[in-house]
Amino acid sequence: MKRVGIIGASGFTGAELLRLVAGHPEFELVAATAHTQAGTRIADLYPSLAAAYGDMVFGAGDDEALAGADLVFLGLPHGASQAIVPNLRGKVDHIVDLAADFRLPDASLYPTWYGEPHAAPELLADFAYGLPEFFRSDIVGAELIAAPGCYVTTSALALAPFLKAGAIESHGIVVDAASGVSGAGRPPKDNTTFCTVDENYTAYGLLNHRHTPEIEMAITKHSGVDAQVIFTPHLVPMNRGILATCYARPAGDLTTESALAILHQAYADEPFVVVSSRVPGTKATLGSNTAHITAQVDPRTGWLVVISALDNLTKGASGQAVQCANLALGLDESLGLQQSGMYP
């Protein structure tokens, strides 16, 4: 058994990690810490986890039980991991960070997109970028892993195969994505209250959303082609799920059939990507670590349209983190993860 811990276990990604760890045949949870919920029973905050965790409580942020763990997940708000990783490194064998703290390798991007300089820029080069479908060899055995979030994963899986194949223009790419409210985290916010979200559909982060450079970085790194993206996220009144509709100009002759062939070839051996002519919906991904993708070429306008859907808390966060953890620990990559979603 591998001894794992979770720092920041009381948020939605933390709760999803707790759920996945409980069902993982090779993981033993040694500590689940949560600064704001220290001393609270896990079952009292998340009754859905009562059968798995009984009377176990969230520990304080400095819980010594984490020392010597095989792997620790960080499910913290952006910025917090930068202060924790330098002290935690060396005390545990592997760290998987779910936040954006170590995803961008260029420290100069953080003041522009995150509003403040990076607190530990010397560590950026030490992190493997945790998108297994593209960077598996970097993740295997890695000590430090930065797992990408839902918007980047959804968009990159849709677009990168076409860039790598030279099938689309690298500039003028449009990503129009919508996420469930859980993507905003558990703490209440004015824009995520029921009365604000219910019967509402709104865009946010126009032209300056912080995940824009990460989308560009991920697809550029995988394809070797310098890409530029305009990204518009939307908040949709549902609990979980994310769907990205991506638009790009073909670089040559491209049909719906050849576009689907590019996706099929790219993901033929990937257990957590489904390519189909069906238009995907978020409902099919619920609770699974699987992304569903399709593509069509419009013969009238010439545009390529790629649609990708996944569960923002599973493949878009905690499931992907477990996928990375399996690779880092030398386990089967799919261990403890569901390929099939729940329905209805």
**CATH number for the domain that contains residue 251:** 3.30.360.10
CA distances from 309 to 198, 242, 313 (A): 21, 6, 12
The arithmetic mean of pLDDT across residues 168-186, rounded, is: 94
Q: Does residue 16 surpass a pLDDT of 70?
A: yes
Q: In which band, very low, low, confident or very high, does the pLDDT at 38 lie, cut at 50, 70 and 90?
A: very high
Q: How confident is the model at residue 307 (pLDDT cuts 50, 70, 90)?
A: very high
Nearest C-alpha neighbor of 226 from the set 276, 304, 172: 172
- Indicate whether 289 pLDDT > 70: yes
The reply to whether 156 and 303 lie within a common domain is: yes
Phi/psi at 114 (5° precision):
-115, 0
- Does 136 lie in the same domain as 44? yes
Q: 90-139: per-residue pLDDT in tens?
A: 999 999 999 999 999 999 999 999 999 999 999 999 999 999 999 999 99
Q: How confident is the model at residue 35 (pLDDT cuts 50, 70, 90)?
A: confident
Q: Is the pLDDT of residue 189 over 90?
A: no
Q: What is the pLDDT of residues 53-91, one digit of tens each?
A: 999 999 987 667 799 999 999 999 999 999 999 999 999
**Would you state the pLDDT for residue 43?**
97
Q: Does the residue 335 lie in any domain?
A: no
- Please count the structural domains in the chain: 2
130 close to 103: Cβ distance less than 8 angstroms: no
The Cα–Cα gap between 254 and 101 comes to: 38
DSSP for 85-118 reads HHHHBTTBSEEEE-SSTTT-S-TTHHHHHHSS--
* Pair (156, 131) in one structural domain: no
pLDDT category at 266 given cuts 50, 70, 90 is very high
Give the integer Cα–Cα distance in Å for 35 and 58.
8
Task: Judge if 133 and 216 occupy the same domain.
Answer: no
SS3 140: coil
Q: Would you state the pLDDT for residue 63?
A: 61
Is the residue at 334 inside a domain?
no
Q: Are residues 154 and 40 in the same domain?
A: no
Identify whether residues 179 and 282 lie together within a single domain: yes
Q: Is 150 a catalytic residue?
A: yes
Average pLDDT score over residue span 218-228: 98
Distance CA 133, CA 151 (A): 16
- Confidence (pLDDT) at 190: 84
262 and 156 fall within a common domain? yes
Is 333 part of a structural domain of the chain?
no
Whether residue 239 is contained in a domain is answered as: yes
**Residue 31: band (very low, low, confident or very high) from pLDDT cuts 50, 70, 90:** very high
pLDDT of residue 64: 75
- Tell me what the mean pLDDT of segment 189-209 comes to: 91
- In a shared domain, residues 111 and 18: yes
Same domain, yes or no, for 134 and 162?
no
Q: Are 263 and 307 in contact (CB under 8 A)?
A: no
- List the single range of 22-31, 154-163, 178-187, 205-214 with lowest mean pLDDT: 178-187
Above 80 in pLDDT, residue 238? yes
Per-residue confidence (pLDDT) for residue 185, from 0 to 100: 87
* Phi–psi pair at 264, nearest 5 degrees: -60, -45
Put residue 224 in one of left, alpha, beta given phi > 0 → left and psi -120 to 50 → alpha: left
Question: Would you state the pLDDT for residue 62?
Answer: 65
Where in the sequence is the domain holding 168, given as residue range(s)?
Answer: 150-311
The reply to whether 131 and 189 lie within a common domain is: no
Residue 341 resides in a domain: no
Cβ neighbours of residue 276 under 8 Å, at least 6 residues apart? 292, 293, 294
pLDDT band at 229 (very low <50, low <70, confident <90, very high): very high
Clarify whether residues 303 and 321 are in a common domain: no
Tell me the pLDDT band of 162, cut-offs 50, 70 and 90: very high
Q: Is the pLDDT of residue 170 over 70?
A: yes
340 in a structural domain: no
Q: Judge whether 204 lies within some domain.
A: yes
Give pTM, 2 decimals: 0.97
Place of tokens 């990559």: 333
Q: What is the CATH number of the domain that holds 52?
A: 3.40.50.720
Pair 171, 297 in one domain: yes
